[in-house]
């Protein structure tokens, strides 16, 4: 009897401890470990109201990116980003989380170590270090042997915020520190895992760029305030003999075919977003497009999202499309246009090619294509994002004013 009582008491104490597992509210310093070593980012965790549920934000410099609803399952916190088939899982032990980052690739999951520590908010340097380096400005950048980009750097003390603009998009929010004669930058958004380790020289930054769990390349950035990229309005264009874009694709929520011949588009300015639920840059563009559309739709404007998904099977891709629509509260139709690795001629044969996601097509009231813009300079690029917003509004005002 005494033995049974002892076993029962132990079980009761174990269950009690299990039931009391919770996650500290506040700031956490998180790291995942890829080929370059520790890749740090911030987390803000707060109870969501329902038992064992939490609201989690990823912090990258100025970015505060909300993850999907997070859940405490047993002794582990699950922090998903379902659009990217990615998840952080950390066993809770007081002020520490220890576990893995996992991301689906094909039908398999890739995992790397993850951990987080409560009450820490630094990136790379536990305490800011005095520096005589001033790296703020614009840089002509080469990744590997050929890939061209423009680096933009902002600096306050030894803290650095940066991004790289490419012909097909940008590297979003990079945050980091100058330590001695070295620069360290990182970002995590559920899909991107970017880590930069570089040496500083006069007017030059060079080193290694680690991406995802295993990717690695070199990069060289040379200060050049005139650095530029190919004209984003010239990369994708209509083939000779075409003036219009035509399509008939299934709409995400209903499955019914949608066409620009539908009455809702007649006599209106139409913006086509070539996008994908897997694309972080498309996420940034959608965060701009949705409120703009809501504010301006009565001016005679319609938007359509042409989404290129991992699978051309509508039943397989529909749940991902609906999650994207719900997450960003997209009020305009989104259709399944194809898969991203197919040639443009398969789905949109009037285009020469689709070079990057997102790509945005502007159509006037007569149904003619007036401009095609490859890529998107998101808010992490600072003044380049401001320039995009300015140019977008000027073009839309012009098209809306036309009769």
Indicate which CATH number applies to the domain containing 283: 3.40.30.10
Report helix angle 314-328 to 280-296, nearest 10: 60
Shared-domain flag, residues 269 and 397: yes
CATH number at residue 147: 2.40.128.120
CB atoms within 10 A of CB 342: 13
53 is a domain residue: yes
Residue-wise pLDDT tens digits, 16-35: 444 457 899 999 999 999 99
Of 223, 257, 283, the residue that ends a domain is 223
Mean pLDDT within 1-22: 49
Q: Distance (Å, rounded) from C-alpha 137 to C-alpha 216?
A: 25
Residue-wise pLDDT tens digits, 237-278: 999 999 899 999 999 999 999 999 999 999 999 999 999 999
Residue 129 pLDDT level (bands cut at 50, 70, 90): confident
Helix (H, G, I), strand (E, B) or coil at 83: helix
Shared-domain flag, residues 166 and 260: no
The number of angstroms, rounded, from the C-alpha of 203 to the middle of its chain's C-alpha atoms is 29
190 is a domain residue: yes
144 is a domain residue: yes
**H/E element, 50:** none
The number of angstroms, rounded, from the C-alpha of 347 to the middle of its chain's C-alpha atoms is 25
**H/E element, 8:** helix 2-19
In which domain, by residue range, is 254 found?
A: 248-401
How many domains does one find in the chain? Answer: 3
Q: Give 228's strand partners.
A: none
Radius of gyration of the chain, Cα coordinates, nearest whole angstrom: 24
Question: Does the pLDDT value for residue 372 go beyond 70?
Answer: yes
Helix (H, G, I), strand (E, B) or coil at 314: helix
The number of angstroms, rounded, from the C-alpha of 85 to the middle of its chain's C-alpha atoms is 13
Q: Distance (Å, rounded) from C-alpha 42 to C-alpha 124?
A: 11
Shared-domain flag, residues 396 and 274: yes
Q: Distance (Å, rounded) from C-alpha 42 to C-alpha 40?
A: 7
Shared-domain flag, residues 272 and 395: yes
28 is a domain residue: yes
Residues 337, 339, 341, 347, CA torsion sign? negative
Of 118, 149, 168, the residue that ends a domain is 118
CATH number at residue 85: 2.40.128.20
Residue-wise pLDDT tens digits, 311-354: 999 999 999 999 999 999 999 999 999 998 776 678 999 999 99
Shared-domain flag, residues 160 and 256: no
Mean pLDDT within 63-67: 96
Q: Give 312's strand partners.
A: none
Residues 179, 194, 173, 137, CA torsion sign? positive
pLDDT value, residue 42: 98
Beta pairing, strands 257-259 & 334-338: unpaired
Residue-wise pLDDT tens digits, 273-309: 999 999 999 999 999 999 999 999 999 999 999 999 9
Residue-wise pLDDT tens digits, 193-217: 999 999 999 999 999 999 999 999 9
Shared-domain flag, residues 254 and 386: yes
């Amino acid at each position: 009897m005494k033995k049974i009582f002892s076993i029962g008491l132990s079980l009761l104490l174990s269950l009690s401890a299990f039931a009391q597992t919770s996650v500290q509210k506040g700031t956490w310093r998180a790291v995942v470990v890829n080929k370059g070593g520790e890749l740090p980012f911030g987390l803000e965790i707060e109870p969501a109201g329902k038992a064992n549920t939490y609201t989690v934000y990823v912090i990258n410099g100025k970015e505060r990116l909300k993850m999907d609803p997070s859940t405490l399952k047993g002794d582990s916190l699950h922090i998903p980003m379902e659009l990217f088939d990615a998840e952080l899982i950390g066993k809770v032990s007081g002020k520490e989380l220890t576990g893995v980052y996992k991301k689906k690739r094909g039908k398999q999951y890739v995992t790397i170590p993850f951990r987080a520590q409560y009450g820490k908010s630094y990136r790379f340097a536990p305490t800011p270090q005095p520096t005589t380096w001033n790296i703020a400005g614009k840089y002509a950048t080469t990744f590997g042997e050929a890939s061209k980009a423009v680096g933009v750097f902002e600096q306050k003390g030894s803290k650095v915020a940066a991004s790289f603009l490419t012909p097909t998009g940008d590297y979003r929010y990079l945050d980091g520190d100058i330590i001695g004669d070295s620069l360290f930058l990182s970002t995590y958004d559920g899909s991107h895992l970017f880590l930069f380790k570089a040496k500083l020289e006069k007017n030059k930054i060079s080193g290694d760029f680690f991406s995802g769990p295993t990717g690695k390349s070199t990069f060289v950035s040379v200060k050049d305030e005139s650095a530029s990229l190919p004209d984003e309005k010239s990369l994708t264009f209509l083939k000779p003999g075409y003036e219009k874009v035509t399509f008939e694709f299934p709409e995400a929520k209903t499955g019914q075919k949608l066409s620009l011949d539908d009455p809702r588009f007649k006599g209106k300015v139409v913006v086509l977003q070539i996008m994908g639920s897997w694309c972080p840059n498309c996420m940034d563009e959608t965060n701009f497009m949705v409120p703009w559309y809501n504010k301006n739709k009565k001016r005679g404007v319609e938007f359509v999202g042409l989404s290129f998904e991992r699978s051309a099977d509508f039943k397989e891709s529909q749940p991902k499309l609906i999650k994207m629509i719900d997450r960003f509260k997209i009020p305009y139709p989104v259709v399944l246009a194809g898969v991203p690795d197919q040639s443009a001629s398969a789905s949109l044969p009037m285009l020469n090619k689709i070079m990057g996601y997102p790509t945005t097509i502007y159509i006037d009231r007569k149904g003619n294509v007036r401009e095609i813009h490859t890529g998107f300079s998101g808010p992490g690029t600072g003044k380049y994002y401001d320039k995009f917003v300015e140019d977008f509004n000027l073009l839309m005002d012009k098209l809306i004013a036309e009769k």
